[in-house]
Structure 1
Amino acid sequence: MDAGAEPLVSVRGAALAYHGKPVLDGLDCAIRAGETLALLGPNGAGKTTLMRLVAGRLTPDRGSVRIAGADPHREPRARRSIGWVPQEIALYPRLTAAENLGVFAQLAGIGRRERPEAVRHALDLAGIAEVASRPVGLLSGGYQRRVNIAASLIGRPRLVLLDEPTQGVDLNARAAIHAVLARLRAQGTAILIATHDFAEAERLADRVAFLARGRIVREGALPALLARVRAGPPEHEVGLAHKPDPAAESALRGAGFAPADTGLTWRAIHRGETGLDGAALLTALRGRGVPASEVRIRAPGLEALYRDALAPEVAA
């Protein structure tokens, strides 16, 4: 990736409202060829709307969207350079994987003679040649998602947009999808991915952008952002064997912890301020009736960056 090259994707001052309610609010975004940008934010932050703007499915009320200098909403040549992978499976279940790709090749305007090669290339790139002759409706969810991705690659796009590409798939399918995206990036394809999966974003992204209320509240190169947050103290988490009773919950809060998920994981509100090592903290909490099964002390990652970036938005 050439850091000095002009961005392939340029979004400037994009604003969009639905029924008078702002969804995007003066958003700026850029992606270069061969770069993967991960969008992270809560539901309703504007991630999917931004992707639909970039795909040319929507046009902003104000601002501009350009793909290699062209407006994807108005110019077919810009749309042809984009591969769109929606969150929903958009395939014909009674057709085979290869037949599905043949349909998408026809829709993409690929000539009859060129279609077999286009289908073969997409099957190979997505690593699904072994299921080419099987009806999509009989494939596992992971394979269906890979066929869905292959359909977006049929026209050899310069930009691929993916909305939660590994949602609901097992670890093997997830690894296979990540391998597809790594091959695309190595070929110089730009990738924009919306995900709630911090580990996935940390593995795939060159840059991350945190969205809240239709704005990017923080963005930057992932290695630099992680280096900055990891220069501070470590994170402390307590894993519980079962949900705490009121007395145990009070003990956890008194020790500076707050629930992080369904109530079985509690995280220190202020990193590195427990004053105890892991073993001593575990003993102290158990002595106060907390059903602690383990204490985890680790370097902060993308989730810590996310919480820090969105904390002012949550408080607002």
Structure 2
Amino acid sequence: MIEITDLSFQYNKKSIVYKNLNLNIKDNSIVGLLGHNGAGKTTLIKLIAGLLNPREGHILINGIAPNVNKHKRGMLSYMPEYDGIYNQLTVMQNMKFRARLIHLKDSYMESECERVLKMIGLWKKKDTKAFHLSNGMRKRLVLACSCLDYPEILLLDEPTNGVDQESKQRIIRLLKSMNNKGTTIVVSSHDFELINAICEEVVIINTGKIEYCGEKPDEESLMNKYSKLTFDEEEDWDVE
């Protein structure tokens, strides 16, 4: 379980992102983080991943703070919005590089990379260098790298941003398969189709505050709730 208690975080004295935030994410759940740009979604993902440290409060993953996590490598995996893959390496070389980072055994590496690439539809591209891939394929490759060896927790930041419909459907299928195998997934996204397709619960964040946290309503109700809770009167204007 991911437990966030009385979390406060700021980048500087004038930029307070979170103050006394509380949130619990259950094991084997799929939770969607919704919010406008600047709401704090990416910051929260990075805090859970241990890439940022809280100023106050704490985050615990199975009782351990992520920045001092002593679990095996690969327990927690993070997919950033901007890919982080190596353009001069092939698809398979990128996969194997990630596999070595999480200490995947050589005897298991080849078959595991093949399994994930086939699931995400990139097996035929395994010898293609990354800079030749379309944006949708690059997103799929980053996700494939993040899904090696069934991580216990998978953190995703805008995984379908700018992708084509085929890539989105392959991403959805892979995430559902990962969750069925026991992976807890936290996904930050503006994509209501993705949230509606995979998430059981949603968290709506507005300027660092949780406006809603609970079971995902139907898609139309979710969109109405999101619009109502995140509407900024200063942005209201009429077109004559």
Contact 2:150–2:181 (CA under 8 A) maintained in structure 1:
no
- Counterpart for residue 11 of structure 2: 18
Q: Distance in 1 between matches of 2:228 and 2:149?
A: 40
Alpha-carbon distance, 1:146 to partner: 0.8
Q: C-alpha deviations, 1:96-143, integer Å up to 9, x for none?
A: 111111111111222333322332333244342222222222122111
Alpha-carbon distance, 1:79 to partner: 6.2
Alpha-carbon distance, 1:78 to partner: 7.0
- Counterpart for residue 271 of structure 1: none
Larger CA Rg, structure 1 vs 2: 1
- Counterpart for residue 206 of structure 1: 200
Give the unaligned 5+ runs of structure 2.
235-240
Contact 1:10–1:67 (CA under 8 A) maintained in structure 2:
yes
> Per the alignment, in what secondary structure is the counterpart of residue 174 of structure 2?
helix
* Alignment partner of 1:302 out of 205, 208, 222: 222
Q: Distance in 1 between matches of 2:228 and 2:11?
A: 29
- Counterpart for residue 172 of structure 2: 178
Q: How many residues align?
A: 233
Contact 1:67–1:78 (CA under 8 A) maintained in structure 2:
no
- Counterpart for residue 128 of structure 1: 122
> Per the alignment, in what secondary structure is the counterpart of residue 113 of structure 1?
helix
Identical amino acids, percent of aligned pairs: 28
Q: Distance in 1 between matches of 2:63 and 2:138?
A: 33
Higher relative contact order by CA 8 Å / sep ≥ 6: 1 or 2? 2
- Counterpart for residue 195 of structure 1: 189
Give the unaligned 5+ runs of structure 1.
1-7, 227-298
- Counterpart for residue 273 of structure 1: none
> Could you say if the C-alpha distance between residues 134 and 59 of structure 1 is closer, same or farther in structure 2, counting changes exceeding 3 Å?
same
Q: Distance in 2 between matches of 1:54 and 1:154?
A: 19
Q: Distance in 2 between matches of 1:93 and 1:56?
A: 26
Contact 1:104–1:151 (CA under 8 A) maintained in structure 2:
yes
* Alignment partner of 1:54 out of 45, 48, 65: 48
> Could you say if the C-alpha distance between residues 314 and 163 of structure 1 is closer, same or farther in structure 2, counting changes exceeding 3 Å?
farther
* Alignment partner of 1:217 out of 211, 216, 237: 211
TM superposition score normalised by structure 2:
0.89
> Could you say if the C-alpha distance between residues 135 and 161 of structure 1 is closer, same or farther in structure 2, counting changes exceeding 3 Å?
same
Q: Which amino acid aligns with 1:64?
A: H
